[in-house]
Every structure is written in C-alpha cells, then in structure tokens.
C-alpha cells in the first residue's frame, strides 16, 4: 500500500489542535466526528469511513491517526444518527409478563445471547400482567424505531402488532395469525405429570391452576379435565383452585385443600412457584410430603431442586425457548422470513424427585 507522508504543517496543526482541546471543557459536550477529523488532520468523510469500518480506501497511517483520535477524545459513534441513514437501530425489545418469576430470566438469557451474537442490543421490559403497561411498551417500541419484538402477549391483538411494521415473534402457546411463535408442549407435559400420580395410586388429585389472564381455559386446566375423562375419574370442582401465580397463592390454595373434609392425596400445581408455596403450607400444617400428600410443579426453576423434599416437576426448555424465538426474529430482520409463520412447541422433560410417592393405604 502506498505510504502518505505527514508534512510538517500537518504536525503543527495536530499539535496546535491538541493544545486547544486541553483548554476546552469537553465534559460539557460529547466529542463529534468533526472533532475526530480535526484532531487526526483528515476530512470529516475520511474520519467517518474509518469509524464506520469502511476504511478500504484509507491509507494505513491515516487510519491509525483517526483511531488514535477516537481513543484520545473518547468518541462514541452516534447510533441514532446512523439509524436515520440506514433505517435500523439494531435494538430489539423483549416484553415478558413477570420478571420476578424465575422462569423468565432463563428465557431472557437465551434471547439475549442469540440477539447479541447477531449484532443487536436487547431491551427487556416487564408488563407485570398489565395490558395497559403492555400497550405503553408497544408505543415505546414504535416510537423508538426498534428493529424487532419478542413478546409474551397479555391483551394485545394481531392488528396492533402488525401496525408496528416490524418482525414480531410470540412467546408461549398463544398463536396470533401472521406471527411466528415459540413455546413448550405444556399439554403433553401436564398429562405426563398426572399420569405419574395415577401410576402411584392417586385418584383424588387437586389442581392449583393459577389463572389464565388471556382466556378462560388454558393448558393445565384443559389437560386436567381430559385426563379425568380418559380414565373415567369423576371431576370434583372443589379440587380445582384458580389463583395468582405466586407462592403466597400456592400456600393459601393448599391450606384450603388440606382443610377439606376429604382432602386430596396429591396436588398438581401449574408452576413451581405455586408448588413451593403449597409445599410450605403442607409442612406448616404438619403434613408430611410425600407420605401424606404428593406435590408436582411445572417449569423446573432452580429453587425446585433446593426444597426439602426436592420438588417433582416438569422441566421446560427455558433457555432454548429464548434462543429459538430470537433466531426466528433475527432471520426475519435479515430478510429471511418463512413463507408461512412457524409455530414451535418444544418438548418438556418429566423430573421425578422427592415430593411424590404412593398415597397412604
């Protein structure tokens, strides 16, 4: 490559400009590409090429001077200005319903690892099961020109998502027409949990169902009814308790169940947080788990293996759900959208631990 000498007047200019910079209160403003160009003694266009990585036509000594000026000034490229030219912000939003539920951080980590590897930044927001907060976040996504959205929707409909005019991937079992989705096969997982209890001899099985905020019927409750019908077991509606998805709700639900004149011999909880609350209630009422009552949860959060006894549960592929959803979104943002929406239901795994056993004879 041809070398371009630095003339003495250029050196004098650089030295003078450095001295000038020492007198300027740069803490009062951010350095610009013009500052970089002046310090390096090059044109603004040349400095922009180097900073933007388009430096094939820039001589090596010039490129080095520009990069040194960037370091000296602490210059950071203005991504907003760049997005106006490219119509891309390289930002993706992840909207989840409950960041305090240990299930979601693993999903979010899967999304983040995949998104960042593709050169995007992730912004995670928590709707807290509120449709109003969800609407506010969606307006923020549109206003700030996010490139894509991954969402476990509360009350949003397909038209609202379509009007964002960006790729969207749905998390969970809910499918909205026109959008890809990724979830787990909770229907089969619930059947596996109930079949396990039946195989141990349990026929009076309670369900702490949580409460679907999107529709009246949902996977755990549907599976519970189908299981009873398939095996010819009567359904006692008093054994089905709908509640919030919290350990307090699980505690209260179990307290009600164990206070019945004919309590259940086993409990299937819609998630591990509910199951852990149920376990606490049983122990507080001096019931032995699993000798007096068996308990199964769902999700396999970290705490499920730490309880005493450890919790029998159904493990959902949380991290993989995040990675699959993120990859579908990256493909769409890269112009590789599938011909028709993809709906993935990843298999779950039954995990038997110490909280289940045969009922007392």
pLDDT at 23: 52
Token pair 């003078």 in the structure block, residue: 16
| The token pair that represents 38 in the structure block | 């002046």
Q: Which tokens in the block code for residue 23?
A: 């007198």
Give the pLDDT score at 157: 86
- pLDDT at position 220 is 83
Q: Cβ neighbours of residue 45 under 8 Å, at least 6 residues apart?
A: none
Residue 129's nearest CA partner among 211, 248, 235, 16 is 211
The token pair at 3 is 């070398």
Per residue of the chain (361 residues), what is the pLDDT tens digit?
445 454 555 556 555 655 555 555 554 567 888 888 888 899 888 888 888 777 677 888 888 898 888 888 888 765 555 444 555 778 999 999 988 889 999 999 999 999 999 989 999 999 988 889 999 999 999 888 899 999 999 888 888 999 999 999 999 877 788 899 999 998 999 999 999 999 999 999 999 987 655 544 467 888 899 999 999 999 999 999 998 888 999 999 999 999 999 999 999 999 999 999 999 999 999 999 999 999 999 999 999 999 999 999 999 999 999 999 999 999 999 888 888 899 999 999 999 999 999 998 6
DSSP characters for 211-247? Answer: --SS-SS-HHHHHHHHHHHHTTPPP-GGGEEE--SSH
pTM of the model: 0.76
Question: How do the residues of the chain divide into helix, strand and coil, expressed in percent and rounded to 5?
Answer: 45, 15, 40
What pLDDT is attached to residue 16?
A: 61
CB 170 within 8 A of CB 152: yes
Helix axes 33-40, 8-23, angle to 10 degrees: 140
Give CA separation, 68 vs 8, 39, 46, 73, 124, in Å. Answer: 19, 9, 14, 9, 35
Q: Provide the pLDDT for residue 218.
A: 62
Domains, the chain, in order of start with CATH, read: 8-77 (1.10.260.40), 87-185+318-346 (3.40.50.2300), 186-316 (3.40.50.2300)
For the sheet with 91-96, list strands across it.
121-126, 91-96, 148-151, 168-171, 180-184, 343-346
């Amino acid at each position: 490559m041809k070398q371009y000498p630095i003339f003495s007047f250029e050196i004098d200019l650089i030295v003078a400009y450095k001295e000038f910079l020492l007198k300027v209160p740069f803490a009062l403003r951010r350095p610009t590409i013009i500052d970089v160009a002046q310090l390096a003694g090059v044109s603004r266009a040349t400095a922009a090429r180097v900073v933007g990585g388009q430096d094939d036509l820039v001589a090596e000594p010039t490129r080095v001077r520009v990069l040194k000026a960037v370091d000296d000034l602490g210059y950071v490229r203005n991504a907003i200005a760049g997005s106006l030219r490219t119509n891309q912000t390289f930002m993706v939003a992840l909207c989840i319903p409950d960041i305090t539920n240990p299930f979601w951080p693993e999903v979010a980590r899967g999304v983040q690892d995949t998104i960042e590897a593709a050169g995007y930044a992730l912004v995670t927001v928590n709707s807290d099961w509120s449709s109003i907060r969800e609407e506010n976040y969606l307006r923020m996504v549109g206003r700030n020109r996010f490139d894509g959205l991954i969402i476990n929707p509360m009350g949003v409909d397909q038209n609202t998502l379509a009007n964002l005019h960006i790729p969207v991937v749905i998390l969970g079992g809910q499918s909205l027409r026109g959008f890809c989705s990724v979830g787990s096969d909770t229907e089969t997982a619930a059947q596996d949990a109930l079949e396990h209890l039946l195989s141990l001899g349990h026929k009076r099985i309670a369900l702490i169902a949580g409460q679907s905020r999107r529709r009246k019927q949902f996977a755990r409750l549907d599976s519970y009814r189908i299981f009873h019908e398939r095996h010819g077991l009567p359904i006692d509606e008093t054994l089905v308790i709908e509640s919030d998805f919290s350990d307090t709700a699980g505690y209260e639900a179990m307290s009600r169940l164990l206070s019945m004149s004919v309590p259940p011999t086993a409990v299937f909880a819609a998630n591990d947080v509910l199951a852990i609350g149920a376990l606490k209630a049983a122990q507080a009422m001096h019931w032995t788990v699993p000798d007096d009552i068996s308990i199964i949860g769902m999700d396999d959060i970290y705490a499920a293996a730490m309880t005493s006894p450890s919790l029998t549960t159904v493990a959902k592929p949380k991290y993989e759900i995040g990675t699959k959803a993120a990859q579908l979104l990256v493909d769409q943002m890269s112009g590789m959208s599938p011909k028709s929406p993809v709906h993935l239901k990843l298999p779950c795994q039954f995990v038997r631990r110490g909280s289940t056993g045969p009922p007392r004879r």
